[in-house]
A and B are shown apart, each in its own frame.
Chain A
Amino acid sequence: SQTIHQWPATLVQPVGSPLSLECTVEGTSNPNLYWYRQAAGRGLQLLFYSVGIGQISSEVPQNLSASRPQDRQFILSSKKLLLSDSGFYLCAWSRGGGLLEQFFGPGTRLTVL
């Protein structure tokens, strides 16, 4: 069976500090990978998605970036965090090749102070 891992579960960072959130998927190959953010009281906003190693599509211009160094690894980064980057970050995967269900990780709660 497939599983998706995200870490850390919670993170408190000062404004201006860097960020690195990691997501890995097990039990499948060549998945589509996604990063979402849920701000307080709001829906899920798609930030980035990737259909293959090194292929990143950005949905929202911002000071975040994503990388996919390995087939089942997806990393969300920032060089300098802003207060507005606070939120609940979710990684998700779906089987490649078409419209299929997405499966989400447990999420990371990021608080920028």
Chain B
Amino acid sequence: DQQVKQNSPSLSVQEGRISILNCDYTNSMFDYFLWYKKYPAEGPTFLISISSIKDKNEDGRFTVFLNKSAKHLSLHIVPSQPGDSAVYFCAASASGTYKYIFGTGTRLKVLA
């Protein structure tokens, strides 16, 4: 049972435009969410997080939106740059569990 889903395996965006990566979850106990960026043969790099008490968190070009009623979060990258080309994972956790459940990832390609 996949509790965290990233339904788009890949996404192509023109440089300078907005990239929107989506993530859905099924467990209503999840209350902390993270986004990671991963290059091939490297460990994931933490990008941004959001707690369920918020609906938005910004850090530079990266913004994460959380819609608790829809059990949906999204990562917006504006403007997109070729260096953003990577696989992006969302992850979710519930208080007290110490575990993070990852989605299957979305491969973003930013075209120059």
Chain A positions within 8 Å of B, measured between CB atoms, are 6, 32, 34, 36, 42-46, 49, 51, 57, 59, 88, 90, 92, 98-99, 101-107, 109
Contacts and interface: CB of A to CB of B under 8 A. Distances in A.
Contacts of B98: 32, 49, 51, 57
Contact of B99 (A6, A59, A98, A104): A59
A10 to B, nearest CB: 9
Contacts of B6: 43
Given A102-B46, A106-B43, A43 B34 contact: no
Given A90-B43, A105-B43, A109-B41, A99 B103 contact: no
Main SS of the interface on chain A?
strand
Contacts of A106: 42-43
Given A43-B6, A45-B102, A102-B91, 18 more contacts: A6-B43, A32-B98, A44-B44, A44-B102, A46-B99, A49-B98, A90-B43, A90-B44, A99-B32, A99-B51, A99-B93, A102-B46, A102-B100, A104-B45, A106-B42, A106-B43, A107-B41, A109-B41
A88 B35 CA distance: 19
B69 interface: no
A43 B100 contact: no
Contacts of B19: none
B80 interface: no
Interface in B32-63: 32, 34, 36, 41-46, 49, 51
B102 A43 contact: yes
